[in-house]
Chains A and B, each alone.
Chain A
Amino acid sequence: MQQKGNQPNIEAILNGDSQAFSKLVDDYKNLVYTVALRMLKNTEEAEEVAQDTFVKVFKSLKHFKGDSKFSTWIYRVTYNTCLDRIKKNKKELLNTSIDAVEGFDIKDVNNALNTILANEKALLVRKCVEQLSYKDAAIISLFYFEEKNLKELSIILSQSENTVKVRLFRARTRLAIILKKQLKPVTLENYG
């Protein structure tokens, strides 16, 4: 899942070296596009917002002081650009009710997950994340992109680590509920 680029040559980019900037875009475009797609749920819009993100990155690169990882900074720009687009569109996907998690045993879902082939699992992840709200999709994706680093995640989302922990737990719960719905009832019954 990781696709970390090397530290970009910021000085060269600021001097107008288009090749250095192209390399930066190539290194991070899949990550930026994936986050945008998961938040916006639309390929055309995600592509447009991902491009706008890189334009913003180029314009504000001189303000990057290196206080955080470069990937953290670029995710922060991506997240904020997506939020601006969502606010502009005024569209929001409703969250799955969190109460539903009480109704099933996690072990059953875990056992059912074990029976699925690896390539089917990849498709399943995509389907499940698609059904999350933009906030949950962003926090879950960024958490795993940032190697489960809560500190970096709190910088991206501009929230305290405790708030991020709570939000992450809720997002995980909703993802588990969606996962249960996605897994075939027959598979679950076998382990129920």
Chain B
Amino acid sequence: MDNQEELEKLIDKLMVNDSLDQPSLDFTENVLAKLPGIQNAHFVYKPLLPKSIFIIGAFLVLSLVVVILKNHGFSEIDSRYINNLNDMGASINNFFGQVRFSKTATYVIILGGFLFFVQTLILKKHVDSRFV
């Protein structure tokens, strides 16, 4: 074995024990802070279910609708279900028709709804900025 080969084997043997150094814990955050381009970028949302599952689901629902229509027809559905729905709507109307709000309570509800809407926008902005 010549000198060069021996040297190569020696250093190979030494470097097997080499290990990597680690930068500071906030290294990645510091890099992102230096990139205004990526900070302004929007977070890319990924749907929980893939598209194919949605397509299969939509196909199954459509198939179900087609099977029901074929077996019962439109007129039977009207007579069976639409009347029931009308009855349900009427009873809900009756229930809420009896409820009376004072003027103050109405203003409080409107103001509460408005603040809820504003808070939703602020929260959305906050969450977006955390992900960017």
Contacts and interface: CB of A to CB of B under 8 A. Distances in A.
Nearest to B35: A58
A22 B37 CA distance: 14
Interface in A84-134: 101, 106-107, 109-110, 113, 118, 121-122, 124-126, 128-129
A17 B32 CA distance: 11
B41 A122 contact: no
B28 A18 contact: no
Contacts of B16: 1
B34 A55 contact: yes
Contact of B23 (A18, A22, A47): A47
Contact of A55 (B6, B7, B35, B44): B35
A64 interface: no
Nearest to A169: B4
Interface stretch (A26-34, A71-79, A152-160): A26-34
Contacts of B24: 47
Interface residues of B, number: 37
B10 A176 contact: yes
B105 interface: no
A164 interface: no
A23 to B, nearest CB: 9
B15 interface: yes
B7 A176 contact: yes
B108 to A, nearest CB: 41
Interface of A: 1, 3, 12, 15-22, 25-26, 29-31, 33-34, 37, 46-47, 50-52, 54-55, 58, 101, 106-107, 109-110, 113, 118, 121-122, 124-126, 128-129, 140-141, 144, 169, 172-173, 175-176, 179
A128 B21 CA distance: 15
Interface centre among B13, B18, B37 (most CB of A within 10 A): B18
Contact of A17 (B11, B28, B31, B41): B41
Given A19-B43, A110-B10, A125 B18 contact: yes
B19 interface: yes
Contacts of A21: 32, 35, 38
